[in-house]
Amino acid sequence: MIIAEGSPTEGMLYEFIDDTVQNRKIYYYKLEDFDIYGVSTFHGPVNATPRMIYGIER
């Protein structure tokens, strides 16, 4: 759980780094947020495929 920062009008930038991924494998992620009343909303899924070639991210 990440506690909200920023303001309702400005928002905030959040980042999640998954350091357990394997090269060239597809990963799916969902985000869940809670409003001020405790109601949750899911976003996604989105996918990502890490591709490291010779130590250079491509």
In a domain, 45, yes or no: yes
Domain that holds residue 36: 27-57
In a domain, 36, yes or no: yes
Judging by DSSP bridges, how do beta strands 52-53 and 40-48 pair with one another? unpaired
Pair 28, 21: CB distance under 8 Å: no
**Count of structural domains within the chain:** 1
In a domain, 41, yes or no: yes
What's the pLDDT tens digit per position in 22-46?
999 999 999 998 888 999 999 999 9
Contacts of 28 (CB under 8 A, 6+ apart): 44, 45, 46, 47
Q: What is the DSSP letter of 38?
A: S
In a domain, 9, yes or no: no
Judge whether residue 58 has pLDDT over 60.
no
In a domain, 33, yes or no: yes
In a domain, 39, yes or no: yes
In a domain, 53, yes or no: yes
Judge whether residue 54 has pLDDT over 70.
no
Contacts of 48 (CB under 8 A, 6+ apart): 21, 26, 27, 29
Cα-flanking dihedrals φ and ψ of residue 11, to 5°? 70, -165
